[in-house]
């Protein structure tokens, strides 16, 4: 039987409706130096492949190319691969590796480029409520962060690794748009929210440090390919600079689902 959790769905839909207005820390009350907000424009392009290996096993992979200043300058390059196992028709578990190369960007750039290597665990719940598709995705990440440093020979070297952990919760809902089809498939209305919680030392506990809320449309290209055109509003806390980023992002995602083996 498909995985069902109606109470979880109701609470998660409330989360989707409200999480994108996650507020910045009330820094004025904590310090004489107030936090400031900067607004930036990004362009993200991604390709996602979901390739079944058997009736239960599959490989889920994606590559993302992220630019800032409206696409004029580099921001991030991300590559990720996940091996997943379908426990039931509505429950999928996985383990994966992620590599993120981040350049100094924007109004509050970091001092140097950053490399983020991750080992993560994934649980994904999919449900159907009438014509509404709902997905919950939980991810727990182990992260090894290193800075890229210039060396005396004119090249680059890497700093010592810093270990961090993070958990993420993504809620995605999609619904066919009445009367709109392409390539024999319905055009989809999409809304989703991705909440990031950094796990600090036991003396400080956990903290919300990023939120991504996006809306848009899924346009079928073929029976197995779809282009998602999304507008993403990203909030990022930058404690070192006492700054909140509010980034408007055009996000283009090409999805491909392979044939079952």
Model pTM score: 0.86
Q: Which residue has the tokens 């990440």?
A: 141
pLDDT at 106 over 50: yes
Task: Give the least confident one: 25-34, 118-127, 159-168.
Answer: 25-34
Quickly state the pLDDT bin for 179 (edges 50, 70, 90): confident
Looking at the predicted structure, is the pLDDT value of residue 144 above 70?
yes
**Residue 2: band (very low, low, confident or very high) from pLDDT cuts 50, 70, 90:** very low
- Whole-number Cα distances in Å, 90 to 5, 42, 176: 10, 34, 20
Is residue 34 one of the residues assigned to a domain? Answer: no
Query: What average pLDDT does the structure give for the chain?
Result: 88
Residue 57 maps to a domain = yes
The answer to whether position 28 is within a domain reads no
Distance in angstroms (rounded) separating the CA atoms of residues 86 and 92: 4
**pLDDT at 85 > cutoff 70:** yes
**194 within some domain:** yes
Q: Has residue 117 been placed in a domain?
A: yes
Q: Residues 124, 91: contact at Cβ < 8 Å?
A: yes
Number of Cβ within a 10 Å radius of residue 42: 23
Predicted pLDDT at 84? 98
pLDDT of residue 36: 95
Decide: 193 and 212 in contact? Cβ < 8 Å. yes
Highest mean pLDDT among 177-181, 237-241, 243-247: 243-247
> What is the pLDDT, as a whole number, of residue 196?
97
Tally of residues, the chain: 261
Read off the tokens for 35: 């936090």
User: Which residue from 127, 129, 99 is spatially nearest to 114, judged by alpha carbons?
Assistant: 99
The percent of residues above 70 in pLDDT, for the chain, comes to: 84
Give the CB-side neighbour count of residue 145, counting CA atoms within 13 A.
12
What's the whole-number mean pLDDT along residues 34-39? 95
Is residue 69, in this structure, part of any structural domain at all? Answer: yes
pLDDT tens string 46-76: 999 999 999 999 999 999 999 999 899 999 9
Whether residue 48 lies inside any domain: the answer is: yes
Task: Count how many domains the chain has.
Answer: 1
pLDDT of 233 higher than 70: yes
Nearest alpha-carbon partner for 195 in 177, 175, 214? 214
In a domain, 21, yes or no: no
Show the domain range for 178: 41-149+156-257
Question: Quick one: pLDDT at residue 6?
Answer: 52
Please report, for the domain that includes residue 188, its CATH number. Answer: 2.40.160
Q: How confident is the model at residue 151 (pLDDT cuts 50, 70, 90)?
A: confident
Task: Quote the tokens at residue 99.
Answer: 């590599």
Q: Which residues make beta-bridge pairs with 50?
A: 60, 257
Confidence of residue 22 (pLDDT cuts 50, 70, 90): very low
């Amino acid at each position: 039987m498909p995985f069902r959790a109606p109470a979880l769905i109701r609470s998660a839909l409330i989360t989707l409706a409200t999480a994108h207005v996650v507020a910045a820390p009330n820094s004025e009350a904590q310090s004489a130096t107030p936090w400031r907000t900067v607004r930036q424009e990004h362009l993200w392009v991604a390709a996602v492949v979901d390739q079944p290996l058997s009736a239960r096993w599959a490989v889920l992979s994606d590559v993302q190319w992220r630019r800032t200043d409206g696409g004029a300058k580099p921001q991030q390059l991300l590559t990720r691969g996940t091996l997943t196992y379908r426990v039931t028709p509505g429950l999928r578990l996985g383990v994966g590796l992620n590599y993120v190369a981040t350049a100094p960007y924007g109004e509050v750039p970091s001092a140097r480029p950053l490399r983020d290597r991750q080992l993560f665990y994934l649980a994904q719940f999919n449900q159907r409520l009438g014509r509404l598709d709902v997905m919950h995705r939980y991810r727990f990440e182990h992260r090894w962060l290193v800075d890229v440093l210039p060396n005396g020979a004119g090249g680059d070297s890497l700093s010592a690794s810093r270990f961090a952990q993070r958990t993420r919760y993504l809620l995605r809902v999609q619904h066919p748009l009445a009367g709109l089809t392409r390539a024999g498939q319905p055009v989809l209305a999409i809304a989703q929210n991705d909440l990031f919680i950094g796990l600090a030392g036991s003396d400080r506990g956990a903290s919300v440090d990023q939120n991504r809320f996006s809306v848009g449309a899924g346009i079928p290209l073929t029976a197995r390919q779809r282009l998602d055109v999304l507008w993403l509003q990203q909030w990022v806390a930058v404690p070192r600079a006492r700054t909140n980023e509010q980034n408007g992002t055009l996000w283009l995602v090409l999805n491909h689902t392979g044939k079952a083996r």
